[in-house]
């Protein structure tokens, strides 16, 4: 993008530092740095600055100009030099500037216009090289004892599974997906947690369901989208909460991680209908309001097209509690383990019994006190496909002790009762 778009004024207010960027102090080889983590991926990768610039960064509040900052400049630091440094920050997309906004829109538009979702987790959560990944997954499944009864697996309709990092949840993944390794559906409808829809409020304010028509490219295989079915769903629900404007999928991991295991176990050809489900907090305040009507309408479409279709399998992707200081709690996660496990047990029990309304009542008791990210997709599924029964396959908790935080996760296998 042209340098002409970079900030270039000594009298206009300097754009503030982007509020959606996390800044972490780090030390390396005896030096201190500020590391910038941009969950949306706009900033230059692995970007860090000397920690001495923290004082200047704290002054960039969107109101002060270069001239306003001149009294704060050290000896030998001219306004020209400061402007050059501000342009450097702008060039690396750290400022809430016109340059950044144009860059961000270009990135999102390019993604929306593409036909393929490039996986964002290879090389981070599992090996990127195909042969190494194949061996990695083979080893995980060979060491796993399956859970669940064969009669239930034979009529399996859905699997609620985690999207936790495989490096901490591999045993749970392997147990859960081993229970459906014998299946060979032609289509998989995926209902998954959307972690990033809230960062696009202007796009998704009225659309809790976000479907993508992209093929999902994994290291060992590309899984094609069932575009005919997706277009049918969108035409039926475009005014009722479903959109195919899919930029929320760009950096999302909640679909591709469980798909990694399906693509490994299932060697047959199958299509996917990938749907992200954003927060359904409105339900906790208005159980029969606008959001409930959207869920009902979308659920009716899912039921009509796939409820009795034996060639369609549902994959529900969601973790359980997110607790501790990283997630906003005042006390460390370890002080909450007993209450978290108790709540998770109640949640999984309601889920196992396919009691959608009871699940909502539980979540609403204290307004989702443990941040159960799997509630929106699981609730959507249970409202759409009534009459199923479930069995909890496993449960675990990742204690991120160094950050005084934790995430719990588990899986439920569902089957038709008729």
User: Do 27 and 136 sit in the same domain of this protein?
Assistant: no
DSSP strands (E only) in 154-294: 156-161, 187-193, 209-211, 215-217, 222-223, 242-243, 271-277
* Residue that finishes a domain, picked among 75, 106, 137: 106
Sequence-separated (6 or more) residues with CB below 8 Å from residue 308: none
Distance CA 407, CA 418 (A): 35
Average pLDDT over residues 404-411: 97
Q: Which domain holds residue 57?
A: 3-106
* DSSP letters for 135-186: HHHHHHHHT----S-HHHHHTEEEEEE--S-HHHHHHHHHHHHHTTTT---S
CA atoms within 13 A on the CB side of 109: 6
User: Do 178 and 62 sit in the same domain of this protein?
Assistant: no
Percentage of the residues of the chain whose pLDDT score is greater than 90: 84
Buried b (16+ CB within 10 A) or exposed e, 116-144: ebebbbbeebbeeeeeebeeebeebbeeb
The enclosing domain of 204 has a CATH number of: 3.40.830.10
Confidence at residue 416, expressed as pLDDT on a 0 to 100 scale = 87
**Furthest-apart CA atoms within the chain: distance in Å:** 80
Distance CA 164, CA 317 (A): 10
User: Per residue in 321-363, pLDDT tens?
Assistant: 999 999 999 999 999 999 999 999 999 999 999 999 999 999 9
Average pLDDT over residues 277-284: 92
Average pLDDT over residues 292-320: 96
Distance CA 161, CA 174 (A): 10
User: Do 24 and 121 sit in the same domain of this protein?
Assistant: no
Confidence at residue 151, expressed as pLDDT on a 0 to 100 scale = 45
User: Do 269 and 320 sit in the same domain of this protein?
Assistant: yes
User: Per residue in 201-249, pLDDT tens?
Assistant: 899 999 999 999 999 999 999 999 999 999 999 999 878 899 999 999 9
User: Do 168 and 89 sit in the same domain of this protein?
Assistant: no
Q: Which three-class secondary structure state does DSSP give residue 102?
A: helix
Nearest C-alpha neighbor of 68 from the set 94, 90, 86: 86
Q: What share of the chain is helix, strand, coil (3-state, %, to 5)?
A: 40, 20, 35
Tally of structural domains, the chain: 2
User: Do 85 and 123 sit in the same domain of this protein?
Assistant: no
| Residue 324 structure tokens | 């501790």
* Residue that finishes a domain, picked among 106, 132, 167: 106
User: Do 293 and 175 sit in the same domain of this protein?
Assistant: yes
User: Do 301 and 326 sit in the same domain of this protein?
Assistant: yes
Buried b (16+ CB within 10 A) or exposed e, 239-278: ebbbbbebbbbbbbbbbbbbbbbbbbbbeeebbbbbbbbb
User: Do 133 and 101 sit in the same domain of this protein?
Assistant: no
User: Per residue in 159-199, pLDDT tens?
Assistant: 999 999 999 999 999 999 999 999 999 999 999 999 999 98
Strand order in the sheet with 116-118: 116-118, 215-217, 222-223
User: Per residue in 58-115, pLDDT tens?
Assistant: 999 999 999 999 887 777 788 999 999 999 999 999 999 999 999 999 999 999 999 9
Contact (CB, 8 A) for 265 and 177: yes
Confidence at residue 3, expressed as pLDDT on a 0 to 100 scale = 63
Q: Which residue has the tokens 């909450």?
A: 336
User: Do 363 and 283 sit in the same domain of this protein?
Assistant: yes
* Residue that finishes a domain, picked among 71, 106, 141: 106
């Amino acid at each position: 993008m042209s340098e002409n778009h970079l900030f270039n004024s000594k009298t206009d207010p300097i754009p503030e530092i982007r509020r959606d960027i996390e800044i972490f102090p780090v030390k390396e080889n005896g030096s201190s740095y500020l590391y910038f983590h941009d969950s949306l991926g706009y900033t230059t990768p692995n970007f860090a600055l000397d920690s001495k610039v923290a004082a200047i960064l704290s002054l960039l509040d969107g109101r002060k100009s270069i001239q306003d900052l001149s009294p704060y400049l050290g000896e030998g630091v001219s306004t020209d030099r400061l402007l050059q440094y501000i342009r450097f920050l702008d060039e690396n997309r750290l400022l809430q500037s016109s340059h950044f906004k144009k860059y961000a829109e270009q990135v999102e538009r390019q993604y929306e216009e593409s036909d393929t979702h490039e996986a964002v987790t290879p090389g981070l959560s599992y090996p990127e090289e195909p042969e190494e990944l194949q061996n990695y997954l083979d080893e995980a499944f060979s060491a796993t004892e399956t859970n669940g009864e064969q009669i239930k697996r034979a009529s399996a309709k859905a699997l609620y599974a985690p999207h936790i990092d495989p490096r901490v949840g591999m045993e749970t993944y392997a147990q859960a997906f081993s229970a459906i390794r014998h299946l060979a559906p032609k289509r998989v409808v995926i209902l998954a947690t959307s972690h990033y829809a809230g960062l696009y409020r202007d796009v998704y304010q009225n659309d809790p369901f976000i479907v993508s028509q992209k093929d999902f490219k994994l290291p060992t295989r590309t899984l094609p989208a069932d575009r005919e079915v997706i277009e049918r769903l969108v035409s039926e629900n475009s005014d009722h909460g479903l959109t195919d404007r899919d930029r929320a999928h760009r950096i999302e991991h909640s679909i591709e991680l469980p798909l990694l295991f399906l693509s490994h176990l299932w060697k047959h050809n199958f299509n996917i209908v990938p749907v992200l489900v954003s927060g359904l907090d409105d339900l906790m305040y208005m159980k029969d309001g606008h959001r409930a009507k959207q869920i009902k309408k979308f659920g009716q479409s899912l039921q009509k097209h796939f409820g009795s279709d034996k060639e369609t399998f549902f994959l529900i992707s969601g973790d359980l509690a997110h607790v501790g200081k990283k997630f906003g709690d005042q006390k460390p996660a370890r002080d909450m383990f007993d209450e978290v496990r108790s709540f998770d047990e109640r949640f999984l029990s309601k889920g196992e019994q396919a009691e959608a309304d009871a699940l909502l009542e539980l979540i609403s008791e204290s307004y989702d006190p443990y941040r159960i990210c799997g509630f929106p997709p699981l609730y959507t599924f249970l409202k759409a496909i009534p009459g199923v029964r479930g069995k909890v396959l496993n449960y675990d908790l990742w204690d991120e002790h160094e950050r005084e935080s934790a995430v719990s996760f588990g899986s439920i296998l569902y089957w038709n009762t008729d």
